[in-house]
Amino acid sequence: METKWPTWSDSSTSYLRERAEAKQSCGKRENSEVAPDMTLSHADLSQGARSGVIVTDSSSDNATMQLQQFCTRTKGVEFAGLFRPISNAQALRMLVARVIGKRAPKLWQFEWRRYVKSQRTPLNAVPLQSVDELFRRISSTSLIVTGRFHMVCMAMLARTPFIALEGNTHKTEGLLADANLSNRFRSSLPNAGELRAWSEWHDDEVKLIEAYVQEARSRISQMFSRIRELATSR
57: domain CATH number? Answer: 3.40.50.2000
Which residue from 129, 119, 122, 120 is spatially nearest to 145, judged by alpha carbons?
122
Task: Output the average pLDDT for the chain.
Answer: 82
The least confident of 33-42, 126-135, 149-158 is: 126-135
Which residue from 172, 187, 207, 231 is spatially nearest to 37, judged by alpha carbons?
172
pLDDT value of residue 11: 55
- Whether 131 is covered by a domain: the verdict is yes
Give the domain-ending residue among 122, 146, 175.
122
Helix, strand, coil share (%) of the chain residues, nearest 5: 50, 15, 35
pLDDT value of residue 161: 97
> What's the pLDDT band for 1 if we cut at 50, 70, 90?
very low
> What's the pLDDT band for 2 if we cut at 50, 70, 90?
very low
- Whether 47 is covered by a domain: the verdict is no
- Spatial CB neighbours of 6, under 8 Å, sequence gap ≥ 6: 16, 17
- Whether 2 is covered by a domain: the verdict is no
Return the sign of the alpha-carbon dihedral for residues 92, 97, 98, 100.
positive
Residue 5 has pLDDT above 80, yes or no: no
pLDDT value of residue 121: 58
- Whether 140 is covered by a domain: the verdict is yes
Virtual torsion, Cα 206, 207, 212, 214, nearest 10 deg = 110
Which residue from 43, 17, 45, 35 is spatially nearest to 155, judged by alpha carbons?
45
Query: For residue 163, what are the β-bridge partners?
Result: 145
- Whether 32 is covered by a domain: the verdict is yes
Residue that wins the pLDDT comparison between 194 and 19: 194
- Whether 133 is covered by a domain: the verdict is yes
> What's the pLDDT band for 140 if we cut at 50, 70, 90?
very high
| Domain containing residue 167 | 53-83+123-212
Domains: count for the chain: 3
- What is the average per-residue pLDDT within 104-109? 81
Give the C-alpha separation, 156 to 141, whole Å.
13
- Whether 46 is covered by a domain: the verdict is no
By three-state DSSP, how is residue 81 classified? strand
Q: Mark whether 110 and 180 lie in a shared domain.
A: no
- Whether 96 is covered by a domain: the verdict is yes
Are 122 and 104 spatial neighbours (Cβ–Cβ below 8 Å)? Answer: no
Give the C-alpha separation, 129 to 224, whole Å.
31
Q: Mark whether 176 and 109 lie in a shared domain.
A: no
- How many helices (H) and strands (E) the chain has is answered by 9, 9
pLDDT value of residue 59: 78
Q: Mark whether 154 and 170 lie in a shared domain.
A: yes
